[in-house]
Amino acid sequence: MNKPLRRVAIFCGLLVLALLLRVNYVQFVQADQLNNDKNNRRVAINQFAQPRGDIIVDGKAVTGHAETTGSDFKYKRTYTNGKMWAPVTGYASQVYGTTMLEGVEDSFLTGDDDRLFFNRTIDLLTGKQRQGGNVVTTLNAKAQKAAYNGLGDKKGAVVALDPRTGAILAMASTPSYDPSTIAGSNDGDAWAALDKKNNPDDPTQNRALRITYPPGSTFKLVTAAAALENGQVTDIDAKTDSPDPYTPEGTTTQLKNEGGIKCKDATLRDALRQSCNTVFGKLGTKVGLKDMVAEAEKFGFNKEQFVPVRANASNFDTKMSTDHVAQSSIGQFDTAATPLQMAMVASAIANNGVLMQPYEVDKLEAPNTSTVSQTTPKQLSTPLSPKNAQALQSMMETVVTSGTGKNAKIPGVRVGGKTGTAQHGVNNDKAPYAWFVSYAMTDHGSPVAVAVVVEDGAANRDDITGGGLAAPIAKSVMEAVLGK
């Protein structure tokens, strides 16, 4: 070979080598960066090139798909009873991405998950269209319907758990939206109508998981648990040393009881039945900041929860003066909780002191319905001893039989509950939130614990109570789970 040809050959060889290096660099080094590049339309096209797997409730799909025209996206997502299920499913949009279960389980639903590699290989060999896997939830359709219908046109949220396992049975949030209306590539007007800037009700917000509310008197359950666990109360029917009104150390501001109820030296049972601020405020200071924080955190406060969708951390301050401890112990000051968190409180009490990890995915199924992953219930913590949990159950059942929670009674069923009317706003000038947390128990244990919060700015302020607005909703959810 003459010299010019050798030079051309060497040059061509260097070009081939450079090409191979570049291809490998792009494939192995830049792959993730390119896949996640917002301008890489091929990723989105691939995501909607085949039907997504379904989200399943009680054996039936609450999602579906439809073929599209006039777009390079072949399929788009559809939803059955979209408004009712939106807090669970979230949305899968050709333009706006994915949220909630659609987001957390996106790779499985599209079929890209590594656990579906064998199925993808079989589909490739047989010439079948690639399919996504299914997400089978723990949700109870009747309980979800009861929660959604119970909230109606009010703003609020409901969470129901199975205390024995932690399975989420219902998760409703209102006002809601239909994810089908924003699933396509030409749904900009529908998206704009849901934007918080244009719609202050913020219907895409998941109030069950992502908003922390002042819990009001429902937090007294945590304070009661702390008092029992730390030996500040050993007999729930013995008189407490509780002045009325109560002035916490470090302030001259008196802590008073609502509605002129008499709570001086009330027993713990009667204090919960009447919702005495003075008794629980003083108990919180006697337990002390350190042990109050420890008890709240055993129930799940100050930590995000993943079900597997992320839930905001509920808050109980870890640094406070004594007067603020008193206020926090009755659910005021900076104490804040998600509806999921308060359902966890009721769940632990109902389950004899054992708190199970909440979860909403029972299993993941391959396209052929074989199980790829099965959720195993896990214990999260033990906030209460069985003895103290049963004492608190007895107190909560008194609230329902002869206290502020009478609207939650279910004939033939043990129901425990706690109402709350949480004040908020500057100088408490806004309409309060109505809370109710409860459980229903049969001879086989407690199959359901519920938390309900209602924001109803249109209601008369004097008519807003947890027992009046929230308890009937909780009752309907419990009845749905029990088959009543």
In this predicted model, what pLDDT tens digit does every residue of 142-193 receive, in sequence order? 999 999 999 999 999 999 999 999 999 999 999 999 999 999 888 899 999 9
Task: Return the top range by mean pLDDT from 159-168, 247-256, 404-413.
Answer: 159-168
Q: Give domain status of residue 437, yes or no.
A: yes
Supply φ then ψ for residue 474, to 5 degrees: -60, -40
| Structure confidence at residue 463 as a pLDDT band (50, 70, 90) | very low
Q: What is the mean pLDDT of the chain?
A: 90
Contact 329, 271 (CB under 8 A): no
At residue 292, the pLDDT reads: 98
N- to C-terminal Cα separation, the chain: 93
Q: Give domain status of residue 60, yes or no.
A: no
Q: Please, what is the Cα angle at 306 between 438 and 62, to 5 degrees?
A: 80
Q: Give domain status of residue 223, yes or no.
A: yes
pLDDT over 60 at 426, yes or no: no
- CB burial string 228-250: b at 16+ within 10 A, e below: bbbebbeebeeebebebebbbee
Q: Give domain status of residue 151, yes or no.
A: no
Segment 472-484 mean pLDDT: 95
How many CB atoms within 10 Å of residue 69? 5
Q: Give domain status of residue 68, yes or no.
A: no
In total, how many domains does the chain have? 1
Amino acid letter for position 473? I
pLDDT over 60 at 265, yes or no: yes
Contact 341, 299 (CB under 8 A): yes
Q: List the alpha helices (DSSP H) in 212-333.
A: 220-229, 268-274, 277-287, 289-298, 322-328
At residue 32, the pLDDT reads: 64
Q: Is 176 a catalytic residue?
A: no
CATH number at residue 447: 3.40.710.10
Supply φ then ψ for residue 194, to 5 degrees: -90, -15
At residue 130, the pLDDT reads: 73
Higher confidence at residue 294 or residue 468? 294
- The reported pTM is 0.89
Segment 326-343 mean pLDDT: 96
Cα distances (Å, whole numbers) of residue 443 to 81, 282, 393, 418, 446? 34, 36, 14, 22, 8
pLDDT over 50 at 461, yes or no: no
Could you tell me the two tokens for 274?
């009447």
Q: Any idea what DSSP says for residue 469? A: I
Domain that holds residue 321: 216-359+377-482
Among candidate residues 217, 438, 446, 476, the one labeled active-site is 217
Tell me what percent of the residues of the chain surpass a pLDDT of 70: 89
Segment 67-90 mean pLDDT: 90
Q: Give domain status of residue 236, yes or no.
A: yes
